[in-house]
């Protein structure tokens, strides 16, 4: 299906990489962003691309696009815990109203719809690793609730459009991802550690550092999302790298790769920080044949030059 796809959050880390990929695959891309957390720099290389159009718009307000749209990918949302703590209402509006508006747009055009969801729907998981059937352990009023509940609502709304209007939907539950085009002050762990390492400053480990995450390089992630978009599965599918490590192990690896010998310091644990996280990726494998190919060390090596140019 080569056609015209609309991507919200197009100036963000994932949105901008997806735009590049859809353009490379021969599509036209309509990008939407209000630059709340996105960056113009991530789109600078598309300025003279005739198949790319940018609409500056807050997706929590309705959007009408003509003449046609064949696919809608809703990626607009603050996504770093630091951002959604600071922007909780905008986060709920992007996931709530933004999802409703983009579903309405997709329905009007009979377009395929893909929702960017998150491993945060599992909260602080009591099942490990997390399969799609796991219903999660989320505090509906806690400090992470603006993001977690927005995405849970967004999934419910997407399934409602699928059931009530037979909309052709996909839901991708994205686990921790990293790579170029993250903001140096994004607040997430890989960007924080690389920036500190390159500056010869101490990395800060929140809590004991025994908490785990499973990090997927953006090139792998984009491939997984695109394959899912072209697949036939309407319900949620995990996409991430099941290679799990502790935050202490991550700090040691990034110290080695950035050549830093400054020992890390410890800070207070963020409230409700999930203790473990690792995707069960059997569903995406079965549906699309996708599996990640870039290990953590290799991915960090590919990412360091991007940050080196910025710090
Ligand atoms: N973290 C840390 N130091 C940092 C940033 C994050 O120790 O400078 C920890 C954080 O407490 C969490 C993990 O790294 O346990 C991943 O945090 P991140 O903000 O990247 O994303 P999350 O997976 O929590 O959404």
Closest CA to 256 of 168, 194, 210, 205: 194
27 and 51 in contact (C-beta within 8 Å)?
A: yes
Ligand 1 contact via 206 beta carbon (within 6 Å): yes
pLDDT tens, residue by residue, 186-209 = 999 999 999 999 999 999 999 999
Mean pLDDT of 15-32: 98
Phi first, then psi, for residue 56 (nearest 5°) are: -85, 110
Quote the pTM value. 0.98
Closest CA to 276 of 44, 70, 47, 119: 119
Q: What mean pLDDT is reported for the chain?
A: 97
How far apart, in Å, are the Cα atoms of 221 and each of 76, 122, 173, 294?
17, 19, 11, 10
Residue 189 CA, ligand 1 centroid: distance in Å: 5
pLDDT tens, residue by residue, 259-303 = 999 999 999 999 999 999 999 999 999 999 999 999 999 999 999
Supply the pLDDT for residue 205.
Answer: 98
- DSSP H or E segment with residue 116: strand 112-118
Phi first, then psi, for residue 47 (nearest 5°) are: -55, -40
Residue 238 CA, ligand 1 centroid: distance in Å: 20
| Band of pLDDT at residue 116, cut at 50, 70 and 90 | very high
Ligand 1 contact via 192 beta carbon (within 6 Å): yes
CB atoms within 10 A of CB 297: 13
């Amino acid at each position: 299906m080569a056609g015209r796809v609309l991507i919200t959050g197009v100036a963000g880390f994932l949105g901008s990489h997806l735009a590049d990929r859809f353009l490379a695959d021969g599509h036209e891309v309509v990008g939407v962003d209000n630059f709340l957390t996105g960056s113009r720099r991530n789109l600078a290389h598309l300025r003279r691309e005739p198949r790319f159009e940018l609409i500056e718009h807050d997706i929590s307000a309705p959007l009408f696009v003509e003449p046609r749209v064949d696919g809608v990918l809703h990626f607009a949302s603050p996504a770093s815990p630091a951002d959604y703590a600071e922007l909780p209402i905008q986060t709920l509006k992007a996931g709530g109203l933004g999802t409703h508006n983009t579903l309405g747009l997709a329905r009007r055009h009979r377009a395929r719809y893909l929702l960017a969801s998150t491993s945060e729907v599992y909260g602080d998981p009591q099942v490990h690793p997390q399969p799609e059937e796991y219903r999660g352990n989320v505090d509906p009023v806690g400090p992470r609730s603006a993001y977690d509940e927005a995405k849970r609502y967004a999934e419910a709304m997407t399934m409602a459009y699928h059931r009530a209007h037979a909309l052709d939907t996909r839901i991708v539950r994205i686990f921790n991802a990293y790579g170029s085009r993250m903001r140096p002050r994004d607040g997430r762990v890989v960007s924080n550690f690389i920036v500190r390492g390159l500056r010869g400053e101490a990395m800060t480990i929140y809590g004991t550092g025994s908490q785990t995450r499973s990090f997927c390089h953006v090139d792998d992630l984009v491939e997984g999302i695109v394959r899912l978009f072209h697949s036939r599965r309407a319900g949620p599918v995990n996409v991430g790298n099941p290679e799990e490590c502790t935050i202490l192990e991550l700090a040691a690896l990034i110290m080695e790769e950035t050549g830093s010998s400054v020992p890390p310091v410890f800070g207070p644990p963020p409230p409700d920080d999930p203790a473990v996280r690792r995707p069960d990726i059997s569903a995406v494998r079965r549906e699309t044949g996708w599996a990640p190919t870039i290990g953590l060390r290799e991915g960090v090596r590919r990412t360091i030059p991007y940050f080196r140019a910025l710090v």
